[in-house]
């Protein structure tokens, strides 16, 4: 069985999570950017979807880095961040 499709993930988050209001597909897709030719989400937006602080999300990724693909994350340079 392959990885879940993007639409399946969107449907999952479109439902209620932790008794919070539903997250719409539009909310998620509006937080996806194309940077360096890849579709990405900013850490702050991903943390908001998971309802955690950004520093907590980053800490958990660092603690479990071996569970993520090598190209899972990268840092923007100043020019990319300003655009």
The residue ranges of every structural domain in the chain are 6-68
Q: Are 57 and 46 in contact (CB under 8 A)?
A: yes
More confident residue, 72 or 43: 43
- From CA 31, how far away is CA 37, in angstroms rounded? 16
Query: What rounded mean pLDDT belongs to the chain?
Result: 79
Tens of pLDDT, residue by residue over 3-39, are: 445 555 555 555 545 556 677 888 899 999 998 898 9
**End-to-end CA gap in the chain:** 38
Least confident of 9-23, 41-55, 57-71: 9-23
Please tell me whether residue 32 adopts helix, strand or coil conformation: strand
In sequence order, the 6+-apart residues with CB closer than 8 A to the CB of 29 are 10
pLDDT at 72 exceeding the cut of 70 = yes
The pLDDT value given to residue 80: 83
């Amino acid at each position: 069985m392959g990885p879940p499709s993007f639409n399946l993930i969107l449907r999952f988050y479109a439902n209620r999570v932790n008794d919070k209001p539903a997250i719409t597909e539009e909310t998620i897709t509006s937080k996806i950017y194309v940077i360096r030719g890849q579709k990405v989400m900013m850490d702050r937006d991903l943390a908001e979807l998971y309802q955690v602080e950004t520093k907590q999300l980053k800490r958990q990724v660092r603690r479990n880095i071996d569970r993520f693909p090598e190209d899972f994350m990268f840092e923007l340079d100043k020019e990319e961040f300003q655009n």
